[in-house]
Every structure is written in structure tokens, then in C-alpha cells.
């Protein structure tokens, strides 16, 4: 039973990490006031570009860097549309989703369905990994997981304890007041959108460089949408995003296990569990029957146009 639980927990961590990069990136982007609905497509581009590089060069570090570069470029394009041209963020996100899923399939055509020679393998951390239960859950993972252990505290610290994080929070609430103070609102938004896209491509790379060593069209299978949902669910706080991701991952893994432990229920109903749980959790955490100041960045999805000031 213990091994069962540890194994579910370890698996939930792996699952959570693969969506957390995108979700935390999107938290930054939305805190800056820009919503990106195209996460799924951008993840695919990340998965494809990373795999493509590793397939041709067998250099994992290079693949990781290429993935980030692709994310930055996509972010630049998205920021140009939404920040400079002030295009509607919802449509832009959908357009990116469609465009990127097409482009990833198109560019990745030559390497579809073939395995690469190398992938990121789990690295047990000496000492820590031999702690019973905890070691197995937390310290026999791969580099993406360990990196996430750093990303979580750093992102929380950045948002709540630094000057730049303070400006980020203000940016999503009231860009005009920052603009008045002489801060380049547009440059900040460009920066955060690009950062978010780079994080999203890393999420994609998790799937093609660590989960498997393989690329196939549409292989992210809806993870981008889950990451997107996680953002509002987390009330724009990375700490809650972590909880949400673990909850979603845990429940979906548990769902498959339930087929073994509680047979007789059609398996599709177990498949529905994580989605239903998300709705319930969303209602509990954000429902307005809890008298609280709304956490949603006030300027989210609002075009910022100096001339409207």
C-alpha cells in the first residue's frame, strides 16, 4: 500500500511539473494583463522543436535552449499582436493555437514517430533519494522536476517580495498609473509574455524530452488547456497553481487506478473525475459567496492604449 501511494505521488509530481511550467508562465503573463489562450499550441511547438534538436544533435542541453528560444520568438509575435496592435487576446490565443499546432505538425513531419537516442533520465539525488517514501517521491526524478523545485519558490519570491514583482502586480491592476510614473508598460508586457511563452515551451519539452523520447502531432493532448485553467484556479498565485496541478494530476492518476480497485464503473466516468474536480475546486476557491477582494488582475484582457487615458 505504501509503495502504491508513493508511486502515485511520484507520478502526480511528474504530471504536475509538465503543466506547471506553462501555468506559472501564464500566471506571470496574466499578472501583466495579457491572457494567452494558445498555450496548447505553444507547448506543441516546444515539444517539437526540442525533440527535433535532440534527434539531430543528440544534445539535450542544446535542445532545451532551442526550446526556450522558440518560446521567446513565439512570445515576441504574440506580444506584438496583443500589446502593440492591441488585438483581442482571446482570438489571438485561438489563432496561435491553430497556427502553432499546424506549424508543429508541419515542421516536425520528418521526425514523427521515431525515437531519439537520448532523453532526460531520472537522476536520483545521492543521499536524499534513499530517504524512505520521501526520497522516492521527490528525489528520484529528472531535471525538469528538480528545476521546478527552484522555479516555484523563486516565482513566489519574485512576485511578492521584489520590486520587479511589485511592478508586475501593479501592471495587471492599473497599467496607466505605471505609465504615468514613467515605466515602460509596453516593454514590461513584452517581457512577461515572452517569458510565459518560453515557460510554456519548456512544458512541451517535458513531454518530448523527458516523458518520452518521441514526437507526434498533437501529443500534448489537452495539457495546455489544463495549464490555462490552472491559472485562474490558482488565483494568480504560483503556490496554489502547484496545489492545483498536484490535485489534477493526482486525481487523473487515481482515476486510472480506480479501474483496478473499484471495477464495474465505466472507465470513462473515472476519466471525467479530474475535470469535475477542477470545476468543484474552482467554485470553492473563487465563488463569490466567499466575501473576498477579487484576485483577478483588473486589467486582464484589457487593451492598454495610451490615447484612451
Name the residue nearer to other proteins (CB basis): 149 or 225: 225
Helix, strand, or coil (residue 6): helix
Q: 180: which 3 cell numbers?
A: 504615468
CA atoms within 13 A on the CB side of 152: 16
498533437: which residue's cell? 218
- Chain positions 253 to 282 lying near other proteins, rule: CB under 8 A, are 253, 256-257, 259-260, 263-264, 266-269, 271-272, 275-276, 278-279, 282
- Chain positions 14 to 43 lying near other proteins, rule: CB under 8 A, are 15
Our finding on whether 219 is near other proteins (CB under 8 A) is yes
Query: Could you say which of 128, 153, 180, 187 contacts other proteins (CB under 8 A)?
Result: 180
Q: 75: which 3 cell numbers?
A: 512570445
Distance of CA 36 to CAs 18, 42, 230, 246, 282, Å? 18, 10, 13, 22, 19
Q: State how far the Cα of 143 lies from the Cα of 121, in Å rounded to an integer.
A: 8
Q: State how far the Cα of 117 lies from the Cα of 223, in Å rounded to an integer.
A: 25
Name the residue nearer to other proteins (CB basis): 152 or 165: 165
- Chain positions 222 to 241 lying near other proteins, rule: CB under 8 A, are 222-223, 225, 228-229, 232-233
Query: Could you say which of 57, 129, 286, 302 contacts other proteins (CB under 8 A)?
Result: 286
For residues 140 to 179, the per-residue mask of contacts with other proteins, x marking binding by CB under 8 A and - elsewhere, is ---------------------xxxx-xx-xx--xx-xxxx
Q: State how far the Cα of 293 lies from the Cα of 202, in Å rounded to an integer.
A: 33
For residues 79 to 108, the per-residue mask of contacts with other proteins, x marking binding by CB under 8 A and - elsewhere, is --x--xxxxx-xxx-xxxxxxxxxx-xx--
Give the largest Cα separation in the chain, rounded: 64
Q: State how far the Cα of 34 lies from the Cα of 11, in Å rounded to an integer.
A: 32
Q: State how far the Cα of 75 lies from the Cα of 61, in Å rounded to an integer.
A: 21
Question: Which stretch in 53-61, 124-132, 196-204, 300-308 sits in contact with other proteins by CB under 8 A?
Answer: 300-308
CB of residue 80 to other proteins, shortest distance in Å: 8
Our finding on whether 112 is near other proteins (CB under 8 A) is yes
Residue 134 · residue 158 · CB < 8 Å: no
CB of residue 294 to other proteins, shortest distance in Å: 8
Name the residue nearer to other proteins (CB basis): 76 or 114: 114
CB of residue 177 to other proteins, shortest distance in Å: 4
Q: Which helix (H) or strand (E) holds 292?
A: none
Name the residue nearer to other proteins (CB basis): 53 or 216: 216
Our finding on whether 132 is near other proteins (CB under 8 A) is no
Amino acid at each position: 500500500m505504501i509503495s502504491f501511494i508513493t508511486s502515485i505521488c511520484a507520478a502526480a509530481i511528474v504530471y504536475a511539473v509538465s503543466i506547471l511550467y506553462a501555468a506559472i508562465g501564464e500566471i506571470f503573463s496574466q499578472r501583466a494583463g495579457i491572457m494567452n489562450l494558445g498555450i496548447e499550441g505553444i507547448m506543441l511547438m516546444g515539444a517539437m522543436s526540442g525533440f527535433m534538436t535532440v534527434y539531430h544533435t543528440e544534445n539535450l542541453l542544446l535542445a532545451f535552449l532551442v526550446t526556450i528560444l522558440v518560446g521567446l520568438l513565439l512570445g515576441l509575435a504574440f506580444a506584438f499582436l496583443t500589446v502593440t496592435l492591441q488585438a483581442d487576446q482571446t482570438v489571438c490565443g485561438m489563432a496561435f493555437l491553430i497556427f502553432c499546432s499546424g506549424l508543429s505538425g508541419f515542421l516536425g513531419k520528418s521526425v514523427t514517430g521515431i525515437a531519439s537516442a537520448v532523453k532526460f533520465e531520472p537522476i536520483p539525488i545521492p543521499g536524499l533519494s534513499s530517504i524512505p517514501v520521501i526520497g522516492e517521491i521527490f528525489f528520484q526524478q529528472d531535471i525538469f522536476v528538480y528545476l521546478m523545485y527552484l522555479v516555484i519558490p523563486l516565482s513566489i519570491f519574485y512576485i511578492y517580495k521584489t520590486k520587479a514583482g511589485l511592478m508586475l502586480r501593479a501592471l495587471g491592476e492599473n497599467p496607466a498609473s505605471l505609465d504615468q510614473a514613467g515605466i515602460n508598460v509596453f516593454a514590461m508586457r513584452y517581457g512577461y509574455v515572452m517569458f510565459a511563452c518560453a515557460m510554456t515551451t519548456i512544458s512541451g519539452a517535458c513531454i518530448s524530452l523527458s516523458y518520452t523520447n518521441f514526437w507526434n502531432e498533437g501529443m500534448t493532448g489537452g495539457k495546455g488547456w489544463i495549464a490555462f485553467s490552472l491559472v485562474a484556479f490558482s488565483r494568480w498565485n504560483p503556490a496554489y497553481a502547484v496545489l492545483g496541478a498536484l490535485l489534477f494530476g493526482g486525481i487523473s492518476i487515481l482515476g486510472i487506478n480506480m479501474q483496478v480497485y473499484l471495477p464495474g464503473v465505466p472507465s470513462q466516468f473515472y476519466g471525467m473525475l479530474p475535470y469535475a474536480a477542477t470545476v468543484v475546486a474552482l467554485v470553492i476557491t473563487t465563488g463569490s459567496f466567499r466575501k473576498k477582494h477579487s484576485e483577478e488582475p483588473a486589467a486582464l484582457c484589457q487593451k492598454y492604449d495610451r490615447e484612451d487615458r
